[in-house]
Amino acid sequence: MIAPRLHPDKHIAAQVVAREIADLIEIRSKSGKYTVLGLATGATPLPLYAELIRLHREAGLSFQSVISFNLDEYAGLGPAHPQSYRYFMAEHFFRHIDIAPGNIHIPDGLSTDTTQTCADFEAEITAAGGIDLQILGIGRTGHIGFNEPPSSADSRTRQVHLNDVTRRDNSVFFENLDEVPTSALTMGVATILAARRVELLAFGSGKAAIVRRAMREQPSVDCPATWLQRHAACTFHLDPEAAAMLRD
Ligand code: F6R
């Protein structure tokens, strides 16, 4: 089931989700448990990472008991490439907090054996005890992670071809469209659905149509985000613009 949660703006949404994450980390660490977070890149989670960094600096939130798994990485881009997701996460989140570098997991974009790399990634999630809380954005194609249509509900971490719409949307971060990789490694839909809690963030009018489809269409491979309707604890955190087409 998807529970929509409307916030006055993306910064307040970020504060609410950051508080949930902080509470989870603090409760679990008190009983000596790690918290396993699934993380996303892109423009959407930036206010969330800024708020978590603020809580770390100003309210003593520690990430020493956190293990993280990022959703995806561009195939062919290494950690030094400014557009790689490993670089993005270091720049916008990890270098500002106290997470142990060994607890960070991001698919290896330079892998020469992607089948093995993806299988290892799944095994590492299992070994960590599964994902406690997964952060998601949503693409205009209905992708979650880089699970473009058609992606089935039982898909697992694998190499995928990137949709032209997604490559064009993401080209704003590159010099030009030709530089946007054509494939990526991504957690699968089943990997995401196995997370105990899913918090999807969507902000701005550009997300209104796909948010409506994700919540209202019959679950199908044509809009992978619709599979989230089958999750027992999934919340869509929306600003008024992203929620604008849910009124009827
Ligand atoms: C990012 C990811 C993608 C993005 C989606 C939205 O790790 O997996 O699914 O969440 O493409 O991107 P933004 O937030 O840039 O609109």
- Calculate how far, in angstroms, residue 24's C-alpha sits from the geometric centre of ligand 1: 24
Q: How confident is the model at residue 1 (pLDDT cuts 50, 70, 90)?
A: confident
The pLDDT value given to residue 205: 98
| AA identity, residue 154 | D
Rounded-to-integer distance, Cα 32 and Cα 208, Å: 41
What is the H or E stretch that residue 60 is in? none
- Calculate how far, in angstroms, residue 105's C-alpha sits from the geometric centre of ligand 1: 17
The pLDDT value given to residue 175: 94
Q: How confident is the model at residue 180 (pLDDT cuts 50, 70, 90)?
A: very high
The residue whose C-alpha atom lies closest to atom 1 belonging to ligand 1 is 41
Tell me which CATH code domain 2-246 carries.
3.40.50.1360
With a pLDDT cut of 90, the percent of the chain lying above it is 99
Task: With H, G, I as helix, E, B as strand and everything else as coil, classify residue 201.
Answer: strand
pLDDT tens by residue, 5-39: 999 999 999 999 999 999 999 999 999 999 999 99
What is the H or E stretch that residue 168 is in? helix 164-170
Upstream peptide bond of 224 is cis (omega within 30 degrees of 0): no
Q: Is 13 exposed, middle or buried (CB count within 10 Å of its CB: 0-12, 13-18, 19+)?
A: buried
Domain ranges in the chain are 2-246
The arithmetic mean of pLDDT across residues 198-220, rounded, is 98
By most ligand atoms within 8 Å of CB, the mutation choice from 10, 17, 44, 89 for ligand 1 is: 44
Q: What is the CA radius of gyration of the chain?
A: 17
Q: How confident is the model at residue 247 (pLDDT cuts 50, 70, 90)?
A: confident
| AA identity, residue 246 | L
Tokens, residue 192: 């995401």
CB 243 within 8 A of CB 212: no
Mean predicted lDDT score pLDDT of the chain: 97
The pLDDT value given to residue 11: 98
Q: Are strands 158-161 and 183-186 parallel, antiparallel or unpaired?
A: antiparallel
By most ligand atoms within 8 Å of CB, the mutation choice from 138, 151, 165 for ligand 1 is: 138
The arithmetic mean of pLDDT across residues 216-244, rounded, is 98
Is a pLDDT exceeding 90 seen at residue 154? yes
With a pLDDT cut of 70, the percent of the chain lying above it is 100
Is a pLDDT exceeding 90 seen at residue 167? yes
- Calculate how far, in angstroms, residue 98's C-alpha sits from the geometric centre of ligand 1: 24
Is a pLDDT exceeding 90 seen at residue 248? no
The residue whose C-alpha atom lies closest to atom 8 belonging to ligand 1 is 145
pLDDT tens by residue, 34-52: 999 999 999 999 999 999 9
| AA identity, residue 75 | A
Please list every protein residue whose CB sits less than 6 Å from any atom of ligand 1.
Answer: 40-44, 71-72, 137-139, 143-146
Is a pLDDT exceeding 90 seen at residue 137? yes
